[in-house]
A and B are shown apart, each in its own frame.
Chain A
Amino acid sequence: MFGLNKKDSALLLAVAVLTMLAPFILNPFPTDSGLAQFNAGYPDLMQRFVIFGIFAIGFNILFGLTGYLSFGHAAFLGVGSYSAVWMFKLLSMNIIPAIILSVIIAGLFALVIGYVSLRRSGIYFSILTLAFAQMSFALAYSVLTPITNGETGLQLSLDDPRILDGASTTGSLPVTSLFGLEMREAVDMAVGPWSFTFSVGYYVCAVFMILAFYLAIRIFRSPFGMMLRAIKSNQQRVSYTGLNPRPYTLAAFVISGMYAGLAGGLLASMDPLAGAERMQWTASGEVVLMTILGGVGTLIGPVLGAGLIKYFENIFSKINDNVLHGWFSFLPDGIEDFIVTIIHPFVGKGWHLTLGIIFMLVVTFLPGGLVEGGQRIARMFRGKKKTGGADAAKTEAAE
């Protein structure tokens, strides 16, 4: 299917089905139940899942294939967001030109930063990318205020030209759309006690992610992808085989920068504002965590990692003391207070602590990330059914 082998087609199909059905899958709890706060099926969060999925897929093309660890990828995300908002201000509220511009501008940025950074490898490369990203952040935050609107962030305003759309007549800010279809539009569907929301914005992002995922599979399976893996494996042999590693790594860097630009453009398309904090080093570090957590060099890993981290950030962080007291109210007062005190540092504002523990456990016991965890579980089940199945599963590569 689409030039993919059976296994990859199945994977693509599974991802497509899961993203299309996400509003159901992520809302497993009835709206009134106590567990409803664990529902992640609201548009804003689902959009984040797929957008950061795109970001991580692109990052993995660089890090997973070539082994070059960039610590400045958030810069391309930020550049993409700024480009998109400028397109909304100047040209039209249609998201297509905005996204095209974000991808192009992020690609150009990646070309320049990559050209300089890729002169070094290993830790020096990481530090160079980090330095570039922090410089971009500092520029966006202060020096380039006319372009980025500094610490306030770039926003739409009523007197923007918007050449294609014409002047606003309603007196309210226009909204982003895809040829008239508004991104914020959503349909609610109530099934018994459940309620599901289908938003235009989410489905637009989901389609982009499926396309991005498909392209990533093609790159992984191409001669180009094989050369990148060869560079990760043994750069010396690559040179002595008559291949120039530099343009290969630069191409990978630019492609992953363009993925980041696409993610940034989509973020701005869902909510048309761009701030410098998107480029900060913590944002660059987050995508590294996502990729490692999910599984470096695997196809599906980065998407899983992105989902997990965004879920923690948005859902786990909402469990405060009141909620905890609610859960444990059946216990005698003293014990209830004691348990809440114990759990308190790990939830709510302390969600980073839990994430850190999970990260440590994954890196220590599952170096291949969540994907390796999944494979081990699958192998256990297969091993029970028929002996000897374990060896067969072992040879199936993680990708």
Chain B
Amino acid sequence: MGILEVKGVNKRFGGLQALGNVNLSVKENSVHAIIGPNGAGKSTLLNCLVGKLIPDTGSVMFDGQSVLGRKPHEINQMGISRVFQTPEIFGDLTVMENMMIPIFAKRDGAFRMHAIENMMAEKDVVEAAEHMLEEMNMADKRGMHSASMSRGDKRRLEIGMCLAQEPKLLLLDEPTAGMARADTNNTIDLLKQISDERDITIAIIEHDMHVVFSLANRITVLAQGTPLVEDDPENIKGNPKVREAYLGETA
């Protein structure tokens, strides 16, 4: 049994079968990549995992509990954090405030009316946020407006915000899309370090084969809404079906 079990998931948008009978099992503490050509249904699948979409049929179990019908914030509180394709951070807030919010969410749950307390007087949150910023090598940027940072730094901050919640599963949606080579390599190193040092499962959707083969220890290939194969990276590289469906065009 994996930490994330997707069984028989179907999703239809009008006449388009976006997902057809998807089965997926993500093992605990693995780095699982989901790859596939454009329109393969990768993002639809991801959206079904985080509560943005509800599948027409099938089940999605996380850590022994169903996530279907739950709202995004409830699923997040169960232990799934998501990193978006374009970094989703709080652009109007400082880096430090960005980092404090997930820690408050972890400590206080989905809603708490703490309207009179001074936020900087919450020592445990401030300390945890500072610690996390140091770990992300961003301590010197703590007072900066996060919108004014480079894309690579925004990505780093977003990953840091997700990690600050100590999630069991980290979902990444093309984390290096549109990045310069140097930033991509930095992100790969960061993710490697995260999966080595932490008790965490990572599921990653990616286009860039360099990223996939540097990180993943398990790969699912999706084509036209259905999983083609699920195997170890070495076997995927040599698989003729995969070459034909996907790699053949690019590699």
Q: Tell me if chain B binds chain A.
A: yes
The distance in angstroms between the C-alpha atoms of A230 and B102, with both chains bound, is 11
Query: For chain B, which range describes its interface: under 10, 10 to 19, 20 to 34, or 35 or more residues?
Result: 35 or more
CB distance from A37 to the nearest CB of B (A): 43
User: Which of B77, B90, B116 makes the CB contact (< 8 A) with A237?
Assistant: B90
Select from chain A the residue with minimum beta-carbon distance to B92. A233
Q: Which residues of B contact A242 (CB under 8 A)?
A: 73, 76-77, 102, 105-106, 109-110, 165
B82:A240 contact, CB within 8 angstroms: yes
Dominant secondary structure at the A interface:
helix
- Judge whether B117 is part of the interface by a CB distance below 8 angstroms: yes
How many inter-chain residue pairs (CB < 8 Å) link A and B?
A: 108
The one of A222, A234, A245 in contact with B90, judged by C-beta atoms closer than 8 angstroms, is A234
- Of all chain B residues, the one with the shortest Cβ separation from A251 is B113
**Hey, what's the 0/1 contact readout for B140-178 against A, CB within 8 Å counting as 1?**
000100000000000000000100010000000000000
| CB contact under 8 A between A223 and B114, given known A234-B91, A243-B105 | yes
Minimum CB–CB distance for A231 against chain B, Å: 9
A247–B118 CB distance below 8 A = no
Q: Is the CB of B113 within 8 A of A237?
A: no
Name B143's closest neighbour in chain A (CB-CB).
Answer: A395
CB neighbours of B122 from chain A (8 A): 223
Instruction: Give the chain A neighbours of B16 by CB distance below 8 A.
Output: none
For residue A232, which residues in chain B have a CB less than 8 angstroms away from its CB?
92
The reply to whether the CB of B203 lies closer than 8 angstroms to some CB of chain A is no
A246 nearest in chain B by CB position = B111
Count of chain A residues with Cβ under 8 Å from any Cβ of B? 30
Expressed in whole angstroms, the minimum distance between the Cβ of B194 and any Cβ of chain A is 18
Residues of A within 8 A of B104 (CB): 223, 226-227
20 new A-B contacts, CB < 8 A, other than A233-B92, A234-B89, A241-B101, are A219-B115, A221-B119, A222-B114, A222-B115, A223-B100, A223-B125, A224-B113, A224-B114, A226-B101, A233-B90, A233-B91, A233-B93, A238-B101, A240-B72, A241-B165, A242-B77, A243-B111, A244-B110, A245-B73, A251-B115
Closest 3 CB pairs of A and B: A242-B76, A224-B115, A244-B110
Question: Chain A: residues with CB nearer than 8 A to chain B?
Answer: 3, 218-219, 221-227, 229-230, 232-234, 236-245, 247-248, 251, 255, 395
B residues at A contact (CB < 8 Å): 50, 71-73, 76-77, 81-82, 84, 88-93, 97, 100-102, 104-106, 108-122, 125, 143, 161, 165
